[in-house]
Structure 1
Amino acid sequence: MQAVQLTSLHWLFLFWVLVVIGVMGLRKDPLIPCLLGLFTVGWGFKGNLIGGITTIFNALIVAGGEFWGIIVIISLIVALSKLLAETGADYLVMRPAAKLMVNPDISYWVLGLAMLFASWFFWPSPATALIGAIMTPVALRAGLPPLGAAVAMNLFGHGIALSTDYVIQGAPTITAKAAGFANPSPVISASVPLAVTMGLVATITGYIIVKRDLRQNKAGQMETIVEQEAKRQLDWVSYLLAVATPVAFALDVAVMLTTGLRGGDATALLGGTATIILAVGSLLKFGFEGLEKITDYVRNGFMFGIKIFAPVIIIGGFFFMGKGELAQGILGKGATGFLEDLGLYLSQAVPLNKFFVALITLATGIVVGLDGSGFSPLPLVGSVAATFGKAIPIDTATLAALGQIAGVWVGGGTVIPWAVIPVAAITGVNPLDLARKNFWPVTLGFIATTIVAVLLM
C-alpha cells in the first residue's frame, strides 16, 4: 500500500471535524463550524477567497442532490398522514390494535409494535401523535403506567423504527451515500442482525424495568387521565382510506420483496403510492375543494421535510468533502477524500482492528447524536465507516449500520432529555425521568450490538 502524504488541508479538515463533534457534544448546532470548514478548506484548495465562497454553495448543491429524493418521500408521507388524521382514517386503522390491550404486559408490546409499524410507514413524529392520541389512553386504562407507555413508544418508534427506516429508507440512504454505496441496500441488509439484537435487548430490558416498577409501585400514575375522543366526522371515505392505505403500502412492500426493487426505485414506488392516495382521498373527501386542500397538505408536508433536512444538508455537505467522488463535486478536479486519506494514514501509523474501529464508530454516532437530531450523525458515521473500510479489511456496510444505530438511537430520541420531549409530552411524563428509564435498555443494547457487529465484520 502506497504511503499517504497528508497536507495542511487534511489537518485543516480534521480540525473542523473535531470542532463539529465538540460543538455537537455541547448540544449546540454545528452549522457554523461546518460552513467555516467548507469556506476555509475551499479557500485553501482553490487558492483564493472566491473559491472558498463558491465551495459553500457547491457543497449544499451536492448534498441537496444526494438527499432530495428522501426529502420528497418523507414530505409526501407526512402530507398523507395529515389527510388521514383529518378524515379520521388514522383512528380507524389503529382501533383494532387498541382493543387487544387488556393488561399492562400486553399493552406494552402492542403499544410498542403499533408505534414501530406506524413509524416505519409515517415516521416517528406523526406516529407519536397518532399512537398517543388513539392507543395510549387505552393502554393506561389497562394498567400500563404513563412512564411505561412512554418507554415502549420511545424504544420501538424513535429507536428501532427510525434507526432502521426500512420502508421510507431515509436513514440508510444518507448513511449509504456517505459510506460510498450507490444505494441503501448494503446498509439495510447489514443492519438487520444488528437491529434485531439492539431491538430485542433494549425492548426486553425496558419491559423488565417497567414490570419491576409495577411490582414496586414506583412507576406512578397520572393524577388525571382524560381521554378526549375527537369528534371525528367518519364517513365512507374515512373507511375507504383506512383500508386502502395500509393495503397499498403492504402491496408496495410485497413488490419490493418479490421483484428485488431497492434504492431509488423503491422510494419512487412508495412516493408515487402516497401521492395517488393523497390526491384521490382529497377529491373524494372534499370534492372540488380537494383541489385546494391537497395544496395545504403538500405544503405542510414539504415544510416538515425541509425543516428536518435543512441542517442535515449543510452537515452532509461538509462531511462529503471526506469522500473522494463527492469531494470532487464540491471542490473540483484533483480533490481527494480527506477522511479516506486520514483513515489510510491512521492505518499505517496505528495498528487498527475490528474492535477498535467498531468502538470509534459507535462513539462517533453517540457523541454526534447528542445534538438531538437523529439524522445529523449519519453523514459522519457513513464517512467514518468508509474511511476505516479503506484502511483495513472489514465490512464497511456493517460498520456504517452500527454507527447509524448508535446515532439515531441517541439523537432520534431515547436517552437524552431534549430529544424525548414529544413522547414525554403526549404521555404526560417528565422528560428527565423518561431519559433515565431508557438509559440501561439502550446501553445494554449498544454493548450487545457492538459485539455482534465485530463478529460480523
Structure 2
Amino acid sequence: MGIDLLTIHWIYLIFILLIIVFMICKKDTSLICILGIFVLGVVGTSDFSVAVMGVFNSFVFATEELMGTILIISVITGMSNILLISGINETMIYPFTKIIRTPSLAYWIIGILMMILSWFFWPSPAVALMGAVLLPIALKVGLPRIGVAMAMNLFGHGIALASDLIIQGAPKITADAAGIPVSDVVSASIPLNIVMGVVTTITAFYFLRKDMKNGTLFEEERAVEDIEDKDCIEKNKYKFSKGTRIFFAIVIPLFFAADIVIMYIKKLQGGDATALIGGTACFVLVMISVLTYREKGLEKITSHLIEGFQFGFKIFGAVIPIAAFFYLGDAAFGQIFGEVLPANSQGIVNDIGIALAKAVPINQGVAAITLTTVGAITGLDGSGFSGISLAGSIAKLFSMALGSGIATLTALGQIAAIWVGGGTIVPWAVIPVAAICGIDAFELARRNMKPVLIGLIVTTIVGMFLI
C-alpha cells in the first residue's frame, strides 16, 4: 500500500477511537464525525473544496441509505397518534386488563404486551398507551411503579427495539455497515435476543420480588389519576363510540397480521417487508383520520404525517453524521470522493481487517467481548442507534480476521448498543417511561443496571459459541 492509503487507514482508525472516547465522556460525536469525513477527504483527494463538498455529500448518502427506516418510523408514529386520539389504542389493550390479578401477572403481561406493541409501533408510541391504560391496574394489584416501568422498559426498549423483527430499522443500519443482508442479521440476532431477553427479564423480576418481600419497595394500592398528555382534550373530543372502537381494534391488528402472512408467503424481508408495513400504516392513518375528523380529515392526515416526520428526523438526526462517517469505510468512499483508493484496495474496513488478520491473533472470545463492549459504549449517548453503524463496521473488521461470524458479531454489537442506549440503562434515555410511571429516571436506570449487565455477560458467552 502507498503512504496515502496507509494514512487514510490510520486516520479512519484514529477517528473511530475518538468517537468511542467522546461517547464514553457522554459528548456529542457529530463534530468528530464531520471532521473525520473532511480530513479523509483532504488526504484522499488533496483538494480542499472536494473535501468540503464531501461532508455534505456523505450526509446525503447516509440519508438516502437510512431514508426507508426514517420514513417507516415516521409513518407508524403518525398512525399511532391518530389511534391514540380516536381511542382505538385503548380498546386494543383493554381485554388484557381483565386477566391482571397479581403483581407477577402485571409484570409479565405488561412486559409481553409492550414487547408486541413495540415490534409494530416501536416503544416510544407504545409507552404513553401502556402507561395510561395499564399503570392504574398494575398499582391496584400491588405492582409498584418501578416494577411497571421496568417491565415496559426491558421488554419494549430492550427486547423489542434490539430485535426489531417487524420494522427492521436497527438491523438495516447494522447490516449496511457490515455489508451483509438484513436477513442475516435478523436470523443471527434471534437466539442472542432470546438469551438476552430471558436472562434480563427473569433476573429483574427476581430482584424486584425480593425487594418487595423485604419491604424495600412499598406496594401502591391506590389508583393513579388519568395520565394527561398533550392530546387529552383532542382525544376526548374525537374519541370514537365504543362499538366503532371495538370494530377497528379487531380490524387493524388483522391488517398487520395479514402483512406478516404475506411476508412469510412471499418471503419478504428487509426493505420489502418494511414497505409493506409502512404502506399498511399509511392506509390505516388515512382511514382513521378521515373517519375521526370528517370534514377536517384531509388537513389532519397531513398534520399527523408531519408529527411523525418530526419524530423520525429527531431520532435519526444524531445517526446521520455518524453513519455518514462509517459508510466511508466501504463503497461510499469512492462514491463521495471518487476512485482515489488503489485498485487492490477492498475498502478501508476490509483493508484494515485483512491487515489485522495477519498481525493480531483474534479468537471468538476476544471478538465477542469487544463487540459487546463497543456496542455498550456507543449506547452511552442515549440514542442506541447512533453507534450501531460502528458495531457493524467493527464486526466486519473482526470477521475478516476470523474468517466467519460477521452476522453474529453484528447482532451482538447491535443488542449491546440498543439495550444500553435505547432506553434501559442510560438515565436520559429512560425519561419517557419514568415520566409516564411517575418515578425518577435515575432510579429506573439503577434498577435496570444489574439485570442488563448480567444479561449482556451471558449473551456474550453464548455468542462466542455461535461465531
CA separation in 2, counterparts of 1:220 and 1:407?
33
Structure 1 residue aligned with 2:189: 191
Equivalent residue in structure 2 for 1:228, among 214, 226, 229: 226
CA separation in 2, counterparts of 1:115 and 1:98?
13
CA contact (8 A) 2:44 2:340 kept: no
CA contact (8 A) 2:143 2:220 kept: no
Map 1:163-242; keep pairs closer than 5 Å: 163-181=162-180, 183-221=181-219, 225-228=223-226, 232=236, 233-235=239-241, 236-242=243-249
Structure 1 residue aligned with 2:440: 430
Structure 2 residue aligned with 1:290: 297
Q: Normalising to structure 2: TM-score of the pair?
A: 0.94
Equivalent residue in structure 2 for 1:380, among 377, 387, 390: 390
CA separation in 1, counterparts of 2:375 and 2:83?
34
CA separation in 2, counterparts of 1:302 and 1:217?
45
Q: Does 1:259 align with 2:259?
A: no
Q: Normalising to structure 1: TM-score of the pair?
A: 0.96
Q: Does 1:52 align with 2:51?
A: yes
CA separation in 2, counterparts of 1:334 and 1:161?
42
Structure 2 residue aligned with 1:454: 464
Letter matched to residue 269 of structure 2: R
Aligned length: 454
Structure 2 residue aligned with 1:107: 106
Q: Quick one: structure 1 residues 155 and 3, their matched pair in 2 at CA, closer, same or farther if it must change by over 3 Å?
A: farther
CA contact (8 A) 1:153 1:423 kept: yes
Q: Does 1:81 align with 2:80?
A: yes
CA contact (8 A) 1:4 1:345 kept: no
In the TM superposition, residue 399 of structure 1 has moved relative to its aligned partner by 0.6
Once the two structures are superposed, what CA deviation does each residue of 1:167-201 show, in whole Å capped at 9, x if it has no partner? Answer: 111000101111102x4111000100000000000
Structure 1 residues 214-223 or 93-102, which shifts more? Answer: 214-223
Structure 1 residue aligned with 2:280: 273
In the TM superposition, residue 244 of structure 1 has moved relative to its aligned partner by 1.9
In the TM superposition, residue 326 of structure 1 has moved relative to its aligned partner by 2.4
CA separation in 2, counterparts of 1:245 and 1:333?
49
Letter matched to residue 123 of structure 1: W
Q: Partner of 1:135: helix, strand, or coil?
A: helix
Q: Could you list the runs of 5+ residues in structure 1 that have no partner in the other structure?
A: none
CA separation in 1, counterparts of 2:274 and 2:400?
29
CA separation in 2, counterparts of 1:148 and 1:4?
58
Once the two structures are superposed, what CA deviation does each residue of 1:135-157 show, in whole Å capped at 9, x if it has no partner? Answer: 11111111101111111111101
Q: Quick one: structure 1 residues 266 and 398, their matched pair in 2 at CA, closer, same or farther if it must change by over 3 Å?
A: same
Letter matched to residue 216 of structure 2: K
CA separation in 2, counterparts of 1:27 and 1:220?
34
Once the two structures are superposed, what CA deviation does each residue of 1:263-289 show, in whole Å capped at 9, x if it has no partner? Answer: 111111101100111111111222221
CA contact (8 A) 1:237 1:284 kept: no
Structure 2 residue aligned with 1:117: 116
In the TM superposition, residue 95 of structure 1 has moved relative to its aligned partner by 0.6
CA contact (8 A) 1:75 1:302 kept: yes
Once the two structures are superposed, what CA deviation does each residue of 1:354-386 show, in whole Å capped at 9, x if it has no partner? Answer: 111111111110111101001011110011111
The root-mean-square deviation of aligned C-alpha atoms, in Å, is 1.8
Q: Partner of 2:423: helix, strand, or coil?
A: coil
Equivalent residue in structure 2 for 1:333, among 331, 339, 345: 339
Q: Does 1:299 align with 2:319?
A: no
CA separation in 2, counterparts of 1:219 and 1:3?
64
4+ runs deviating over 6 angstroms: 2-5
Letter matched to residue 291 of structure 1: L
CA separation in 2, counterparts of 1:5 and 1:447?
40
Q: Could you list the runs of 5+ residues in structure 2 that have no partner in the other structure?
A: none
In the TM superposition, residue 420 of structure 1 has moved relative to its aligned partner by 1.3
Q: Quick one: structure 1 residues 79 and 355, their matched pair in 2 at CA, closer, same or farther if it must change by over 3 Å?
A: same
Equivalent residue in structure 1 for 2:407, among 371, 374, 397: 397
In the TM superposition, residue 328 of structure 1 has moved relative to its aligned partner by 1.8
CA contact (8 A) 2:141 2:221 kept: no
Letter matched to residue 405 of structure 1: I
% same residue: 44
CA contact (8 A) 1:222 1:428 kept: no
CA contact (8 A) 1:6 1:342 kept: no
Once the two structures are superposed, what CA deviation does each residue of 1:210-253 show, in whole Å capped at 9, x if it has no partner? Answer: 11011111123569752327774332543333222211111111
Once the two structures are superposed, what CA deviation does each residue of 1:67-95 show, in whole Å capped at 9, x if it has no partner? Answer: 11111111100000011011000100011
Q: Does 1:14 align with 2:13?
A: yes
